[in-house]
Amino acid sequence: MAEAKSLEVDLAGLKMSNPVILASGIMGTTPGGLARVAREGAGGVTTKSLGPEPREGHPAPNVVKVTAGYLNAMGLPNPGVEEYAGELEEVELEATVFGSIFAHDSEEFSRVARVMEPTVDALELNLSCPHAESLGAAIGTRPPLVEEIVSSVVREVNIPVFAKLTPNVSDITEIGRAAETAGADGVVAINTLPGMAIDVETERPILGNRSGGLSGPAIHPVAVKSAYDLYEAISIPIVGVGGIESGEDVVETMLAGATAVQVGTAIADRGMGVFRELNSWLADYLDSHQVELSELIGAAHDY
């Protein structure tokens, strides 16, 4: 009998047991949540985005279910990087840990990165939150700012740095190129798309922040095209994210060009067992197609 194919993956030098990573903002609000997801079989886990100071976020309601996904406007609530990093130090995690951070400018990003560095394996710079004024996508839509922030963090730390990109631009590859030029070790694509839901009885927007970010199956084709376009444009690894719910979605995103994937919203609908389910489907796929995991990356470009 042929030996089972390995799900191990090398992501910018990070040796992961499998390519399925918890996305930022879901279950990663506390280090305990990350530990739970790691025990459920995720190859990597990403913290909630952490900033320089504690932050309350937007008024409720923060999440609303819509057709084929969710709208959320959390507003980056978090206890501040010092407190979170202190708690994270106490927790043993059996997965590669990505520390997601946000800040207003390159100096502040570097400061937050320094605090986070000792407790994580890699950093993910949130340059893409669509519903926090002057943060996230307000930065990540401007290539010169992306370049400045990424290069300042890369100079500051000795662990891999990933830039998380917004799809809310006319050409995502410009932002990807800016991150690569600045020395990023990889990019994560995509964050949510802006959206709104209105209650027809109250005649008011449902979310406390009025509008929010769309996630889930509705955005999956956007994530696939983003990974595909980035693969043509840059040489650093791509982490694909957006509406990944099934093993097919994982393989599709890798064929587009992703080395690994992240899963967020699927946990809300499918529970934490989704990590084992995706990996088990992936293992069966590799076996039945007699292909190595690394051979999938970007294979859809080969014709």
Binding residues vs ligand FMN (CB under 6 A): 23-26, 48-49, 63, 70, 72, 74, 76, 100, 126, 129, 164, 191-192, 215-216, 219, 241-244, 263-266
Question: What letter would DSSP give residue 76?
Answer: -
Helix (H, G, I), strand (E, B) or coil at 268: helix
Query: Residue 250 or residue 266: which is nearer to ligand FMN going by CB?
Result: 266
Q: Closest distance between ligand FMN and the C-beta of residue 302, in Å?
A: 27
Give burial (CB, 10 Å; 0-12/13-18/19+) of 246. middle
Q: Which residue is nearest to ligand FMN (CB)?
A: 25
Catalytic residue among 120, 129, 187, 274: 129
- Is 129 designated active site? yes
Query: Any idea what the Cα angle at residue 204 is, between residues 199 and 207, rounded to 5°?
Result: 80
Residue 186's H or E segment, with its range, is strand 186-189
Q: How far apart are CA 138 and CA 166, in angstroms?
A: 10
3-state secondary structure at position 155: helix
Select 65 or 114, whichever has its Cβ closest to ligand FMN.
65
Q: Which is nearer to ligand FMN, 26 or 184 (CB)?
A: 26
| Nearer CB in complex with ligand FMN: 110/246 | 246
Could you tell me the two tokens for 111? Answer: 């400061």
Q: How far is the CB of 103 from ligand FMN (least distance, A)?
A: 13
Quick one: which of 228, 222, 207, 194 has its CA closest to 299? 228
Provide the token pair at 110: 């570097």
Which residue lies nearer to ligand FMN by CB, 66 or 299?
A: 66
> How far is 213 from 130, CA to CA, in rounded Å?
6
Query: Closest distance between ligand FMN and the C-beta of residue 11, in Å?
Result: 17
Residue closest to 128 by CA, chosen among 152, 107, 145, 108? 145
**What residues are annotated to the active site?**
129
